[in-house]
Amino acid sequence: MFLLIFYHTGRLFDEPWHINNAVLNPAINIFNRFLDIWHMPLFFILAGASVWFALGRRSAGEFVKERTLRLFIPLMFGMLVIVPPQVYFERVFDGDFTGSFLAWYPNTFHGIYSMDNPLSGNLSWHHLWFLAYLFSFSLILLPLFWYLRKENRKPLISRISGFLARPGAIFLLTIPLIVFNITLRPIYGWGNQNLINDWANFLFYITVFFYGFLLVSDGKIIQAVQRNQFTALIAAVVFSLGIYLSGVGILPLPGAIVLTFRAIACWCWLIAIIGIGSHLLNFTNRVLRYTSDAVLPVYILHQTLIITIGFYVVSWNIGVAPKYFFIAIATLVSSLAIYEVIRTNNVTRFLFGLRLKRKPKAELVRVGER
């Protein structure tokens, strides 16, 4: 989530986006294109892992209720309240509207916003597409997850983990990702994120989501990831470098090869990050517990804050670096400040997908005991 704030801040400076700085920056563009390879897949693989643990404590019905409260409610609230300022500032920035946000807000319900044609309408989930996809994936795969989570399915999980524990077998999981990239990316591209006409992203991310569930289902699989973590890291660097060199024209490669490289690099980065992270980050503390609760509200808030702050900052007569770091830090600080307000009452906790605070039970005071 911390990286995502810097990623979306960088979108103001890397390529055409909702709003942009007058001068784009090649270094930020390289950094963001590097994150494009593995960053959102990391969100999905971790989310998939969390489903394994969640179904160990909940029935299928309880899981659907939890997903609805944690994902669907914030998505609806976000589309009606959090995202509209982003579209408003884009319309003002492009000269398509003049006036206050309150005067513009009724336009929110005029048509559906499209990444391919932003002027097609205004109602959108923008960055909250992740919540929409994650909610859909959770419901679609729930029967399979519930089937695999049953106690009598341990032998099946054991056979799967036994296969993936073989030398190099963990890398075979990249094959479906390669197939999706080669066959579907030329048709559906990279960034529609509209759920119904986005089959390349849909199948790629739902597969990674399932892999996350699978990775934590048996200790042998994580051990296989750890054994291959440095091989994966080297491969990830090599294939990522190949993608970069192809992009700048130094190493011209056919499109299918680049798409293959992207799938391999993505999976290798995930193996390396999870393998190394399982050693170095296998602890908790007060800061991590706090940020674990804050991450969903910060996710919901951050892009709106970036565009709102960026709308004013991009016009400042200073360099790219001061603008970039000012917007990122201001977004981080302001989102955590808003989270401090959100966490204080159950109404805002409900709207931002947080567990409700239970009212403390009234203490019974016996007569004469004061």
Tokens of residue 187, six digits: 């048709």
CA distance linking residue 339 with residue 60, whole number of Å: 30
Q: Is 318 helix (H, G, I), strand (E, B) or coil?
A: coil
pLDDT score of 158:
94
Q: Report pLDDT for 86.
A: 97
pLDDT digit string (tens) for 114-144?
877 878 899 999 999 999 999 999 999 999 9
Q: How far is CA 69 from CA 73, 238, 306, 350, in A?
A: 5, 42, 26, 7
Tokens standing for 174?
């990249």
Q: Is 123 in a helix, a strand, or coil?
A: strand
pLDDT means per 10 residues, the chain with 370 residues, are 96 95 96 97 97 92 96 98 97 95 96 85 96 98 94 92 95 98 94 89 98 96 96 98 95 95 98 94 89 95 98 96 98 97 96 87 47
Question: Are the beta carbons of 105 and 96 closer than 8 angstroms?
Answer: no
Residue type, 258: V
* 221 closest CA partner among 177, 274, 269: 274
> What is the pTM for the complete model shown?
0.93
Q: Are 295 and 1 in contact (CB under 8 A)?
A: yes
Phi, psi (degrees; rounded to nearest 5) at 38? -135, -10
- What's the confidence (pLDDT) of residue 368? 46
Dihedral sign from CA coordinates of 304, 306, 312, 314: negative
Q: Where are the alpha helices (DSSP H) in the chain?
A: 2-14, 26-54, 60-67, 73-77, 84-93, 101-104, 129-149, 154-164, 174-188, 199-215, 219-227, 229-247, 255-280, 286-313, 320-342, 346-351
d(CA 297, CA 348): 10
CB 32, CB 10: distance < 8 Å: yes
DSSP 8-state code for residue 128 = G
SS3 category, 246 = helix
| Residue boundaries of the structural domains of the chain | 35-294
181: tokens are 């990239």
Q: Of 221, 227, 43, whose CA–CA distance to 148 is shortest? A: 221
d(CA 201, CA 260): 15
